[in-house]
């Protein structure tokens, strides 16, 4: 079975390490915060100027001056810090964030990512996504492997305008965990019950399959 949104988040959470500073994008990446392993300390960076994002507030804690990058009201975790937007992006662009997780429409074998703009449709903007993909070294893209109509989103060349060029090395889809290197996709793991053939069929860009591909453990 293809992974649910929660299961994608669960698998991404396995990539966390104790002491990591992490930036989670809007959508599935946000769910990763629900699966931080017991006993592990992870600090969440919100690019509007908060390091150490806490859970959502209770009615009593609600504060209009404290929001996340998705403009939702939040709280601060113990040891949090607040800074301005230039400082926030100095952290991001300076490569100080240990792990960035964000969504995409398409990725390709050269590590290009398209995630903010579909020509002809309403363009809302890239927000901080271009800074995140250009600034971070360790990025995981979460996305569905193919459209509802079976059109692959893992391509030899992105068709949509790019968010970043040559910056993506890891992609977790609802079907597979994939590494990008040497201009090719490399299959690392498959979703439970999904065959290598199914993944190959839905991957338009060149996919290297070496040996037995293990199932993800969730």
Question: Which tokens go with 61?
Answer: 């804690």
Quick count: other Cβ atoms within 10 Å of Cβ 36?
16
Query: Cβ-count burial of 34 within 10 angstroms (0-12 exposed, 13-18 middle, 19+ buried)?
Result: exposed
Q: Judged by CB, which is closer to other proteins: 99, or 202?
A: 99
Virtual torsion, Cα 162, 209, 192, 16, nearest 10 deg: -60
Give 56 or 208: the residue with its C-beta nearer to other proteins.
56
Choosing from 6, 38, 41, 47, the catalytic residue is 47
Q: Is 47 a catalytic residue?
A: yes
Among 62, 118, 151, 208, binds other proteins (CB under 8 A): 62
Q: Considering the rule CB under 8 A, would residue 123 count as an interface residue with other proteins?
A: yes
In the list 36, 43, 77, 82, the residue contacting other proteins (rule: CB under 8 A) is 82
Binding piece for other proteins, criterion CB under 8 A, among 81-89, 145-153, 168-176, 177-185:
81-89
Whole-angstrom CA distances from 166 to 18, 129, 178, 187, 203 are 28, 14, 15, 18, 18
Residue 184 in contact with residue 206, Cβ under 8 Å? yes
Q: 155 to 214, contacts with other proteins by CB under 8 A?
A: 161-166
146 belongs to the binding site for other proteins (CB under 8 A):
no
Q: Which residues are part of the catalytic machinery? A: 47
């Amino acid at each position: 079975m293809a992974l649910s949104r929660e299961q994608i988040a669960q698998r991404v959470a396995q990539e966390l390490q104790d002491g990591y500073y992490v930036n989670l994008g809007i959508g599935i990446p946000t769910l990763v915060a629900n699966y931080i392993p017991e006993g592990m300390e992870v600090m969440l960076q919100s690019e509007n100027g908060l390091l150490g994002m806490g859970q959502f507030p209770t009615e009593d804690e609600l504060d209009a001056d404290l929001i996340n990058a998705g403009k939702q009201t939040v709280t601060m975790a113990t040891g949090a810090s607040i800074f301005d937007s230039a400082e926030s992006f100095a952290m991001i662009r300076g490569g100080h964030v240990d792990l960035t997780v964000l969504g995409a429409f398409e990725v390709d074998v050269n590590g290009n990512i398209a995630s903010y703009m579909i020509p002809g449709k309403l363009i809302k903007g890239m927000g901080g996504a271009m800074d995140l993909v250009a600034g971070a070294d360790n990025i995981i893209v979460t996305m569905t492997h193919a459209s509802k109509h079976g059109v692959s989103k893992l391509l030899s060349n992105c068709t949509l305008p790019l968010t970043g060029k040559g910056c993506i090395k890891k992609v977790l889809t609802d079907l597979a965990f994939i590494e990008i290197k040497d201009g090719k996709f490399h299959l690392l793991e498959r979703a439970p019950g999904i065959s290598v053939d199914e993944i190959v069929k839905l991957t338009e860009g060149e996919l290297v399959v070496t040996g037995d591909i293990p199932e993800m453990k969730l």
